[in-house]
Structure 1
Amino acid sequence: MSSLSVVIPVGPAEKTLGDLPLNLLRAFNDTPGLGLLVQRWEIILVFCEASRHLEKQLPPESGLTVRYAEAGRAKQMNAGAAVATGCFIWFLHLDSKIKPLHCLRLSERVIQRSDTLHYFPLAFQNDGAGLMVLNQWGANVRSDLLRVPFGDQAFCLSARLFRLLGGYPEDVAYGEDHLLVWYARQTGIPLCSTGVALPTSARKYASHGWLKLTLRYQYLWLRQAWPEFLCLLRRRFL
């Protein structure tokens, strides 16, 4: 992989940058062998007006790229991708817990299969509520069997393919990551799991209620998936 751009949107609800930016810096700078796989990399943080104050948490002269965009995950990720200089773009959520192994495995997978949308198996951290083990199992079944991963599984694809797909749709109320996956499948772009689970926060389930949020998410993704599935069938058989 000649170059990699990491795009991280910082939404209006975020209260801290956490440890993701620094963990990425350490991984790229200090992981043995990673420099042989990724010759050039950049980390792009995209703030909105409501999260702009969090920029002060970045260490001075960190080497991170900072951009600003209108609030909204799709708009912020598209804004980051628009200035990305890497041949490949890795979209990360701020609450993802990245370790050097994630960077190494992703680099290996991208070199092996460059014309693919790559994603990570999901693992929830212990900050949720209810039967999160079921949510984790269901998310990975949905990803591996139904071929529908979500954005918290850290998509990575070439900048060329991302432009071909038109970026994340900005005119939807939710599920821009979900729709990008369907657009990829409808275009014939394969999906590939890295095989290394990526921990992400489950705090929303603690604050909104496990059962209520689980049922809501299932309803929303199935409602959005059905017309995209029909479109996929039409493209394949017609």
Structure 2
Amino acid sequence: MLARVTAVVPVGPGDAVAPSLREQLLELPLQVHEVRASDPATGASGVRAGPRPQWRISHAPPGRARQQNAGARDAAGDWLWFLHADCELAPDTVLALSRFVASAVGRAGNVAPIAGYFDLRFLDDGPTMTRLNAAGAWLRSHWLGLPFGDQGLLLPRRLFERMGGFDNALERGEDHDLVWRLRRAGVSLQPVGAPLLTSARKYAERGWWATTTGHLGETARQAWRFSRRGSASR
């Protein structure tokens, strides 16, 4: 089932795909589309091969929404798996992904209107208090049905296109916005059943309390805004 999946990895200015994630993805039989931020004046610069034929690299104007939409447009897979460049796969991440995709594909090849997400876990590159953040993400996604982009959103390509993709006008919160639109469209948001590891370095750099309270405030503001938006029409 992994051959049906394209992993889309946006890479911000001055950043790169984490070596550990790169090595993990190179071992999998899926397409990877790495989208690097470029100067807005130059625009996209075409698609070129990466470390292997299935790994493609392109450029798009800065902004995670623009980059992920660009990667999705060039994706060959029936499923899109949006990953952050600093995440890592856990030992059971790939098996759970394959099972999730297989269960969503009917006998006739039809795909159920469903989107998946992974359980957030933090790497040991930040404060131990990030365990509370991981627990909060579990409650937010499992109880409130609001997974975020660092949980590896996974959805059928046709569903992503029907939803209009990410909102290019948003400089941040594009994942939160998409989740609200999926909910309004009646799409089932389901846990894939495995963790996805992410870096906790920003908590170490900015401080756990300041980073956590900043995220909570931003999440509340986005929820207030996105939950009141009308149906997407892009």
TM-score range, shorter chain: 0.7 to 0.9
TM alignment of 1:109-120, pairs within 5 A:
109-113=100-104, 114-120=112-118
**DSSP 3-state at the match of 1:195:** strand
Partners in 2 of 1:17 and 1:67 — Cα distance?
17
Quote the residue 1:94 is aligned against.
85
Q: How many residues align?
A: 214
Quote the residue 1:33 is aligned against.
none
Quote the residue 2:206 is aligned against.
208
- The 8 Å contact of residues 165 and 183 in structure 1, kept in 2 or not, is answered as yes
**DSSP 3-state at the match of 1:174:** coil
- The 8 Å contact of residues 17 and 85 in structure 2, kept in 1 or not, is answered as no
Which TM-score applies when normalising by structure 1? 0.83
State the 1:200 CA deviation: 0.6
RMSD over aligned Cα atoms: 2.2
State the 1:229 CA deviation: 3.2
Aligned AA (2:161): R
1:146-185, Cα deviation, whole Å (9 max, x unpaired): 1101100001101100011111111123111111110100
**DSSP 3-state at the match of 1:23:** helix
State the 1:96 CA deviation: 1.3
Partners in 2 of 1:63 and 1:109 — Cα distance?
22
State the 1:62 CA deviation: 5.4
Quote the residue 2:47 is aligned against.
none
Quote the residue 2:42 is aligned against.
none
Structure 2 segments unaligned to the other structure (5+ residues) = 40-49, 105-111
1:25 counterpart = 2:3: no
More helix by share: 1
| Candidates 67, 74, 96, aligned match of 2:58 | 67
Partners in 2 of 1:101 and 1:132 — Cα distance?
21
**DSSP 3-state at the match of 2:73:** helix
Aligned AA (1:75): R
Structure 2 CA distance for partners of 1:153 and 1:221, relative to 1, 3 Å:
same
More strand by share: 2
Aligned AA (1:176): E
Which TM-score applies when normalising by structure 2? 0.84
Calculate percent identity across the aligned residue pairs.
38
Structure 1 segments unaligned to the other structure (5+ residues) = 29-40, 51-57
Partners in 2 of 1:215 and 1:128 — Cα distance?
16
Partners in 1 of 2:153 and 2:214 — Cα distance?
23
Quote the residue 1:153 is aligned against.
151
Structure 2 CA distance for partners of 1:108 and 1:142, relative to 1, 3 Å:
same
1:71-110, Cα deviation, whole Å (9 max, x unpaired): 1111111000011111111111111111453122111112
